[in-house]
Amino acid sequence: MTPISAERDAQSIQVAVLGSTGRMGREVTKALEAHPFLSLGAALDRSDLQNLLVAQKKVERCDLFIDFTTMSAQERVMQLLYGQSDTARPLITGVTGLKESAQNELLRYANLAPVFQASNFSIGVALLKRLAALAAESLGDHFDAEIFELHHRHKLDAPSGTALSLAEAVVRGKQLAGDQRAIVKTEATTPRNSSEVHLSAGRGGGVFGDHSLFFLGEHERLELKHAAIDRAVFASGALRAAEWCLERPPGHYQMDHLWDH
Ligand SMILES: NC(=O)c1ccc[n+]([C@@H]2O[C@H](COP(=O)([O-])OP(=O)(O)OC[C@H]3O[C@@H](n4cnc5c(N)ncnc54)[C@H](OP(=O)(O)O)[C@@H]3O)[C@@H](O)[C@H]2O)c1
């Protein structure tokens, strides 16, 4: 397998959207209509993915994949990616709740092509994670960290991938402050200790995604909060990641790379 040609005419970048009938798939398709040089090369729904020959035919002329299926589709998605005999094509994936085996498959594919993975493509959430780590490091063990997330009633996984990565950012901050026992807990225990970063999830209505992080001290409380006010934020972030990947060698990339490079 060879990497995508760097000399390819930017006007002709064709995107295959996996999970095209879903909430995010539809949003990405809409965003592609307005994009200056990425365009919809193929829209694959559940039935396409169930028939690999059909799926392979549809993506034949596509340059990269954007995946917003769900965790249960991952085996099929990987079969489709590996089925491309000539070129390993970049993958931008926003699917959350992946099992360890599916995550390992993604990392393996990242040896062949750029894989950009984000549980949340919002730039605001990417910044929130940085602030979370900084706050945890600065506040140390005098503050307890509690994360609350809210999503629409259809979401399959809980807590959200974003809440988990926010919790991991807090753990990293605590470790930098010297707390090597810092861990993420999805079930609250009492009495709690400040090494535990607690997560709680709520589901209902049409909420696109709200995340709040509290640092609770004895006499004060700090709250960091992000709310997605339109699903379009995730689609435009995914397209931004796609543009970024066109210039990159194989590797596993995340939102932080958008800041660092
Ligand atoms: N990274 C981010 O910024 C971000 C933002 C929002 C959501 N997400 C994540 O993105 C994923 C999709 O979210 P969504 O709200 O768009 O979900 P959704 O509305 O349920 O759409 C999922 C899509 O995948 C298809 N699909 C589901 N299971 C499949 C299977 N086993 N085989 C083949 N196709 C299958 C669905 O087909 P049918 O229509 O036939 O069911 C649909 O087209 C979730 O993991 C969600 O957590 C990420």
Atom of ligand 1 nearest to the CA of 152: 15
Question: Tell me, what's the pLDDT at 83?
Answer: 87
- CATH architecture of the domain 123-227 equals 2-Layer Sandwich (3.30)
Q: Kindly state if the Cβ of 26 falls inside 6 Å of ligand 1.
A: no
Ligand 1: does its nearest atom lie under 6 Å from the Cβ of 203? no
pLDDT for the residue numbered 6: 43
Q: Which of 58, 129, 151, 257 is catalytic?
A: 151
For residue 5, the model assigns a pLDDT of 44
Does the Cβ of 162 fall within 6 Å of ligand 1? no
Task: Quote the pLDDT of residue 259.
Answer: 77
pLDDT at position 260 is 73
93 CA → ligand 1 middle, Å: 11
CA distance linking residue 72 with residue 158, whole number of Å: 15
What is the per-residue pLDDT for 261?
A: 65
**80 Cβ below 6 A of ligand 1:** no
Q: Indicate where the chain has its CATH 3.30.360.10 domain(s).
A: 123-227
Q: What is the pLDDT of residue 188?
A: 72
Question: Could you tell me the sign of the dihedral formed by the alpha carbons of 203, 205, 207, 213, in that order?
Answer: negative
DSSP string, 112-128: TSEEEE-S---HHHHHH
pTM of the model as a whole: 0.90
**How many residues are present in the chain?**
261
Closest by CA to 227, choosing from 207, 210, 240, is 210
**Tell me: domain 10-121+232-260, CATH 3.40.50.720, correct?**
yes
Whether 57 is a known active-site residue: answer: no
**Amino acid residing at 30:** K
Sequence ranges of the chain with CATH classification 3.40.50.720: 10-121+232-260
Per residue of the chain (261 residues), give pLDDT as tens.
444 444 445 568 999 999 999 999 999 999 999 999 999 999 999 999 999 999 999 999 999 999 999 999 999 999 999 987 677 899 999 999 999 999 999 999 999 999 999 999 999 999 999 999 999 999 999 999 999 999 999 999 999 999 999 999 999 999 999 999 999 998 877 788 899 999 999 999 999 999 999 999 999 999 999 999 999 999 999 999 999 999 899 999 999 898 776
